[in-house]
Amino acid sequence: MKKITLLIAFLVGLHWTAFSQGCLPGTSYFSSQAEVDAFQTNYPGCTQIEGNIVINGNDITHLNAFSNVTSIEGFFYITNASSLTNLTGLDALTLTHPRL
């Protein structure tokens, strides 16, 4: 019975790991809406960004492509994005390591 319970726990953990993928270990720059929109295509299944994100582009109007991202281990910096009026698309982000 213990072996079956352990096997089930292992398989559930393996399943969770397969769907919670890390990506982008360095600093990634998004300077246009097209680059932002391509995020989910270029990094399917990415939910945990391991590095830094820089959003820098006046034509960026939304961040919906990041809607599956739950964590960013590095910094998230937005600059020169005057067309970006809200942070919709970042709703799944949770703060796990506050940096002051």
Query: What is the pTM (predicted TM-score) of this model?
Result: 0.74
Strands 71-72 and 46-49: parallel
* pLDDT per position as a tens digit, 15-71: 444 455 789 999 999 999 999 999 999 999 999 999 999 999 999 999 999 999 999
User: 3-state SS of 51-98?
Assistant: CEEEEECCCCCCCHHHCCCCEECCCEEEECCCCCCCCCCCCCCCCCCC
Domain-wise residue ranges, the chain: 22-100
The Cα 30–Cα 78 span in angstroms is: 10
Q: Using CA of residue 45, residue 47, residue 48, residue 50, what is the dihedral sign? A: positive
